[in-house]
Structure 1
Amino acid sequence: MKSVPAVLLSLCLVMSCDPDGGDPTQDGGTSQDAGTSQDAGAGQDAGTNQDAGTTPDAGTTPDAGTTPDAGTVEDAGTTPPDAGTADDAGTTPDAGTTPDAGTIPDAGTTPDAGTIPDTPCGIPYLGDPNGALDFKIKALGPDWRSSPLTTGSTLTVIEPIQGGRVSFVGVYDVVNIDPCGVKLLGALRNPETGRVQLDARTANLQRDPDGRGSNIDADDASFSNIPLCPNQWSNKDIYDQNYELVVILKDRLEKKVLQKTLTVRPACNVPGEDAFCRCICKAGYVLGSPCP
């Protein structure tokens, strides 16, 4: 019984019979099933590598490449324009309209405000604080009243309360200066030797109706009292000779200074005092010598 199956198996191997005993040809024809290599040929499915080949979809990296959208960084990049509206913030130029705040020059209309009596002595400022200082020269005459001096004018030699002989020199038509505590210096200079006699005073100038300033005639202490005689300094007579009169005016802070010089002729012209004046004012006078 065991030998029969072996013989049958051999035959089947020779004749390619179906193990089930069916029609061998049909089964061999099932090589079409092997031909289902088309299924293996479903390698096309594997060939769906085309799907895998959808890598192009992965290649939709361009979508990921929509990075350009992320690249809408340009929008963020709109920061320059918007932030660049720093022009707006940079409208600082408007803040820079500081020039308007710089209209301080208008506040600098101080000259007008300067017409207010806000000076230390309560006398209104004379003229424009930004203007150039100017003045004219005057002196007390024989009657103790002042008169203008110009080149060649007579300069009266007067006996002051302290004795000796002096000339009282002042200023008028003073403009563009603080009238408080002005410094007035007067000097008589011998043009031949250069020797000088001088006197300096500090005083307040009065404000005249025209808005300009001057020394007050009644206050001879506000004038420069230039000491001239007894003559111990000049090599010629003080009277009837040409001398240079120098006048310097400064404001109290010495920010404004002006000097003027005139040629004048001192004179012993006070009635009743002329003889004595000529005696002590002549050249070579010896101190203590008797005079008429």
Structure 2
Amino acid sequence: MTDQSNYSHFLSNPVAKPPCRMINAQMYGFFVAGCEQKMQQYVDATLNLLATESTSFNVLGSTCLLTFTDIEKISSLTPPFSEHGWMQETDIIIWLPVAKMQGGDISHLYWYPAFISVNNIYALINGREAWGYNKYLCEYQMPATVSDAGAFSISLECFDVFNPDSKLAMHELLTIEQTQASTKENLLDNLSHFSKHVTDLFDAQIKGIDLSLLKQLLDGFIHPQMDQILFKQFPDGQGDKAVYQSVVHSPSLIKKIHQLKLLHNDFSLDVKALASFPLNDMFGIALGKQAVHLPFYVNMDFDQLGATQLLPVQG
């Protein structure tokens, strides 16, 4: 599709224009063991549908990142949408670290939000329509502050089993519980050590990668830019063909870090079996209780830029 019409922002259409600004985004992150083969199969079923002879995408290792992020205030930065108001949004995301391969070499590293659920319909519609985030509505629980020793959970209205008699209902997908109170950390110490800790985690799994590239990927959480890659598509009226399909890139520009700390706690992740969201089949995340690695907390302000196309549109 090379001849594109102007998008119609007709009355009652809730789609606003990027970029948007996020204020007081409190992110809790947990590195989780997955399966490299299953993660790659997910990438092949999405990003690599548009792979070319010279360009494709590979996952890095067998570790993914689970985040709970409570964003106090979001609003568009583009008039007239910047005058419409603001909203609170909570995102629960499973991120895959992905390498862009060109000619057999790694040319860039991205974070791929392969699973993402949010708490309000405005965020869902704008995220799916403008950026291509594969967003779903959820109910959730998370600590109000980093000093709170509360639990994390996410529930979704979905099918727990696929069966002609199954009725759509709310089901819990996963929970995270912490068994010790968090300890105070020094921001500057964490800024200098956070990337090294996580680089060491990935370096134990990935051989032959330039560590400066891996550091570029991980520094995105605390330095000016975090690169996101997305698979954006829309189906035709029969659900057989894609009327739009592309791989896009959207940077998160970090404006300010208010607080950053590594959480020296014991956390337990408990994953449930849901047919609609089979995390074990999708990413190789084990069902049941398991440990997480390098839990962290960051409170930041950032701008989410609009999405630009990386690979040609097909269909």
TM-score class, shorter-chain normalisation, is: under 0.3
Report which of the two has the higher share of helix: 1
- Relative to its length, the structure with more strand (as a share) is 2
- The two structures have a TM-score, normalised by structure 2, of 0.25
Normalising by the residue count of structure 1, what TM-score does the alignment of the two structures yield? 0.26
